[in-house]
Chains A and B, each alone.
Chain A
Amino acid sequence: MISFKDVSVKYPLGNIALHNINFTLEAGTFSYLVGPSGAGKTTILRLILGELLPSSGTVKVDSFQIGNKKFKDTAKLRQVIGVVFQDFKILAEKNIFENIAVGMYIKGFNKAHIQQEVIEALEVVGLPQKAHLFPAQLSAGELQRVAIARAIVGNRKIILADEPTGNLDPKTTWEIMKIFKNLEKEKTILFATHNTDIVNSMKRRVLVISDGQITKDKKKGGYEL
């Protein structure tokens, strides 16, 4: 579960990044976060990840509560969150198995458990035979599948996807969206995107952010700014 209550973010020079944000994403739901560049999407994602502290208000992520005072459990908070980036952020020196397993090593899972769960995740994203390949041997779409696999292993309850289809062609984009659709019952997914086709075709809750404020919050909305 993710909840924002009266959250504002003000930068030291005085510019306001977010103003009085309120929303709650229940566990096991899929929501889009849309808005023009610079509207505050990334700031919201950074707040959820504990990279940034709110100037006022409270952000609640799973059992963690983040206020404007120093937050000490950043590492533990991030261990419940899987992140999928536009640029994949796959480690070139590690093979696919290691790339997916890295988040599980961080959480201290044993080798047998890691082996089993990584193989399952590779099945989920449709790359069962690619475990021992290196990132340079994979296409962009396959790399994004690896990033999704990395985000779902190790009991991560929340997935934050920051423009995950931004670098992909339309066909691959839909393949990726299919994976997200299959995951939405098990995970809380917040999907930041500019892609109107995705938002309009796969109708889910849409949070529209503009100038640091939530301007629309529709249960089965389309892409409208």
Chain B
Amino acid sequence: MNSVWSSMRRTPYQTFASFSVLFFTLLLSGLLFISLTFLQSLLQYVETRPRIIVYFQITTSEEDIFAVRDKLVETEKTNDVTYVSKEDAYKIYKDFTQNDPLLLEMTSPDILPASLEIDAKQPEYLEEIVNFVRKQPGVDEVQFQKDIVDNLLHLTARVRVTTAVFFTYLLFMSIIVLTTTTSFKVALKKDEISLLSLLGATKRFIRKPFMNEIVTLGLVSSVFANLILVLLLLSMNPFLSGYFAGIHSLNMAFFNFNLQIWPFNLTYALLTIGVTTVFSLLITFISSFWATNRYL
């Protein structure tokens, strides 16, 4: 540790340059990771909501509605088809208008339509299902959130591409800058490297102090970047709480693990820290390996 610190002190400008690049790279990577996971979880949330609601005419019988439901289930393109009777609709309406008794007085279950809430297996099936139910007898109106899903799909795809491009760019830029700054340090010690080599030092032994230094710098940068990220998440919490008031939680599948993204929690924070730390280790390991490889 002492040798790492003294080497950093001897080349303060190169150390600062390396730190700055690593810090901004890790901060941006962390932000991109958060944005991507947040959007992905939002998309998953929207996808799990009933996306098609089929309202039937008041006169349509339950048997006819069940027949439509059975046909939908037979298509095997739905995850779930829920029947909402007139009474259920009235209950929902009652809950919704509990602060406005006048509105409730004017309504009775008879005037509310029964409906089917359909959850499609894939967003791509939405349109097909809508066209199918529109042709069914007794159907009054069909609502589905095509625009929202399409926009979210589009946005997530864009963020994925942007993240991939940015990640590649950041990785490339950081490795180039760190390789260059480490190369300066290695060049300053080329006599020592040559002597160590003559005394029988292995490549690993010679690389070790350079790698220790740059990896330490990576970990320090990662701590600073994560500190900023955590502060950012905490400061955004009140705004996001208001914005997503109706959403209880946002989750996404992360490998075989169901990760809760919103509300922000310790597991998610630790995962973000882990991702940026692994990213920093990857950058520093590759760049120090390349920089030392030139002289070995």
Interface residues, chain A, CB within 8 Å of chain B? 49, 75-81, 83, 89, 91, 102-103, 106-107, 150
Contact = CB atoms under 8 A, between A and B. Distances in A.
B173 to A, nearest CB: 32
A103 B192 contact: no
B200 interface: yes
Contacts of A107: 200
Nearest to B194: A89
A143 B198 CA distance: 18
A111 to B, nearest CB: 15
Contacts of A106: 196, 199-202, 205
B195 A78 contact: no
A80 B200 CA distance: 8
A81 B192 CA distance: 17
Interface of B: 191-192, 195-203, 205
Contact of B196 (A49, A76, A81, A102): A102
The B contact surface, by secondary structure, is helix
Contacts of A89: 191, 195
A91 B198 CA distance: 13
Contacts of B199: 78-79, 83, 102-103, 106, 150
22 contacts: A49-B198, A75-B201, A75-B202, A76-B200, A78-B197, A78-B198, A78-B199, A78-B200, A79-B200, A80-B200, A81-B200, A83-B198, A83-B199, A89-B195, A91-B191, A102-B196, A106-B196, A106-B199, A106-B201, A106-B202, A107-B200, A150-B199
Query: What are the 6 closest A-B residue pairs judged by CB atoms, nearest first?
Result: A79-B200, A78-B200, A103-B199, A106-B201, A75-B202, A75-B200
B7 to A, nearest CB: 10
A83 B205 CA distance: 19
Nearest to A106: B201
A81 B201 CA distance: 12
A169 B200 CA distance: 31
Q: Chain A CB within 10 Å — which of B197, B199, B201, B205 has the most?
A: B199
Contacts of B192: 91
Contacts of B202: 75, 106
A149 B203 CA distance: 24
Nearest to B205: A106
B195 A77 contact: no
A77 B200 contact: yes
A81 B195 CA distance: 13
Given A78-B199, A81-B200, A102-B196, 20 more contacts: A49-B198, A75-B200, A75-B201, A75-B203, A76-B200, A77-B200, A78-B198, A79-B199, A83-B198, A83-B199, A89-B191, A91-B191, A91-B195, A103-B200, A106-B199, A106-B201, A106-B202, A106-B205, A107-B200, A150-B199
Contacts of B201: 75, 106
